Amino acid sequence: MRARLLPLLLLLFAGVPLALGLLLAVSLASAEQQNVVVDRIDDTARFASLAQFVTARSEPGERLATLRRELQRYHDLYGVRAGVFYRDGQTMAAAPQGWHVSTSGAGEEAFMEALAGRRSHDPKQVWPWQRGRIVVASPVIRDGDVAAVVYTDSPTGQLRSRILHGWLPIAAGEAAALLLAVAAAFLLTRWVLRPVGTLDRAAHEIATGEFKSRVAASGGPPELQRLAGSFNEMADHVEDVLEQQRAFVADASHQLRNPLSALLLRIELLGLELPEGNQEVASVRAEGKRLAQVLDDLLDLALAEHSPADVRLTDVAALAAERVASWQPVAEQGGVELRSEGAAAVTGWADPVALSSALDAVVDNAVKFTPEGGRVTVEAAARGAHVTVDVADGGPGLTEEELARVGDRFWRSSRHQNVSGSGLGLSITRALLAAGGGRVSFAPNSPHGLRVTLTVPRDGPPVPPGDAESPAR
């Protein structure tokens, strides 16, 4: 969003002073040239008044001599070539001597306009990078007719120098204005987008389970401040709803546990009165135990999502080896080889109890789905800023579609319905790790099976949502 808003503001803020500066530069150049043209017009008018009374071409009278002296002094003083020419182009008087009117281009056009009784049009604008000359021609009127033409041809070096020096303050002002415009665009973009970035961070944190995250409704446009307030109200409502849902699950699981235990006890007593090996009683007993396991898992899940994590520096490798040793008898009973690999000591930041429970759930699944004669490996390793524990089994594994759903509550693959379980174990694992800043991921194992990776921070504990130095918290 910044990449779209900032160029627009830069265009608006910088475009206006840039356009005004260009107009001012053009106006200054035009004014400087107009001053030169006006001076030349005045000069040609004075020479025309002197040449008006010069009558004979061959007789060098006093007036002609005066005109020639004035033209020579004018040329010596200003460096401007000037002359008075008869209608046929013959020279009446000119300085420097021997100079003639240009017979092509702007010079010829100006001379023809003066012959028509009009002062020549203003010459084209001269810019500092151009090497042009300014030509001005005026008619000499005698008895209502054009008797001669006064013609001046001026160099433009000084004019171009004055234009360039006049542009320097404009360029400096433009540079300052552009810097101010860029700074204003950046500040305005930051002011407008800071609440948006805060909202984005808060929304991401809530999406990742940090339901205490809120937005500080300060700064930015009033509309975004109201949006921040509405976002906080929504977050409060979502947190309340989730809290009520967790409380309901925990209460329901706890309240149903006692009547279910009483029911299972009565089933056991009823089984004593029936013939031994009754299939119906065995089926009811199995379903009752499965229901009890589901209730226990629901209670564990509610507690895992609600209880704060006690994150501390933990030897993850030693903890993984301990859990492997605890599950070794179960693996041996099923004919599965369970072993620990990797580094002997790797420290990371985790809740030891939560990580132990997560490892128990993952190793339990791995041993459960690995056939007799298979192997399950648990490997702890340091990878950059994280510590990982890979649990790889030799079971049937999961398809790509199933990998996308594994870890969802109550989800079980249709190929594993005959294996005992509630479908909540990996959900509990995910909740336990998320509370301490960790995560769980799933991938196929080679050549077959499933690889579950538990990841916890290595460099430092996760920042609690309420302690982060962020406006979103």
Q: Any idea which of 145-154, 220-229, 427-436 has the lowest mean pLDDT?
A: 427-436
To which H or E segment does residue 405 belong? helix 400-405
**Span 287-293, average pLDDT:** 68
For residue 287, pLDDT beyond 80? no
- In this prediction, residue 103 carries a pLDDT of 66
| 53/49 Cα distance (integer angstroms) | 8
Q: Is the peptide bond before 96 cis (omega within 30 degrees of 0)?
A: yes
Please state at what angle helix 425-435 crosses helix 352-369, rounded to 10 degrees. Answer: 150
Question: What integer is the mean pLDDT of 384-413?
Answer: 76
Q: Looking at per-residue confidence, does 466 or 177 come out higher?
A: 177
**Ordered DSSP codes for 72-86:** HHHHHHH--EEEEEE
Nearest to 361 by CA among 274, 281, 426, 446: 426
Residue-level pLDDT at 473: 38
* Distance in angstroms (rounded) separating the CA atoms of residues 200 and 196: 6
- How high is the pLDDT of residue 465? 45
Question: Each residue of 145-181: pLDDT tens digit?
Answer: 888 899 999 888 888 899 899 989 988 988 888 888 8
Q: Is the pLDDT of residue 312 over 80?
A: yes
pLDDT confidence band for 252 (50 / 70 / 90): low
Residue 217 confidence class, pLDDT cut points 50, 70, 90:
low
- pLDDT at residue 471 tops 50: no
> What per-residue confidence (pLDDT) applies to 306?
58
Is residue 452's pLDDT more than 70?
yes
Band (pLDDT 50/70/90 cuts) for residue 141 is confident
pLDDT at 445: 84
Question: What is the reported pLDDT for 174?
Answer: 85
Q: Quick one: pLDDT at residue 150? A: 92
Q: Which two tokens stand for residue 129?
A: 């990078």
DSSP tag of 219: S
Mean pLDDT calculated for residue range 361-384: 87
pLDDT at 414 over 60: no
Q: Which of 441, 459, 473, 7 is nearest to 212 (CA)?
A: 473
- CB-side exposure of 60: number of CA atoms within 13 Å? 6
pTM here is 0.47
**Mean pLDDT of the chain, nearest integer:** 79
Q: Would you say 433 and 358 are in contact if contact means Cβ atoms under 8 Å apart?
A: yes
Residues contacting 9, CB < 8 A, separation 6+: 184, 185, 188, 189
Residue 463 reports pLDDT greater than 60 = no
Higher pLDDT, 384 or 194: 384
pLDDT of residue 11: 77
Is the confidence at residue 323, as pLDDT, over 80?
yes
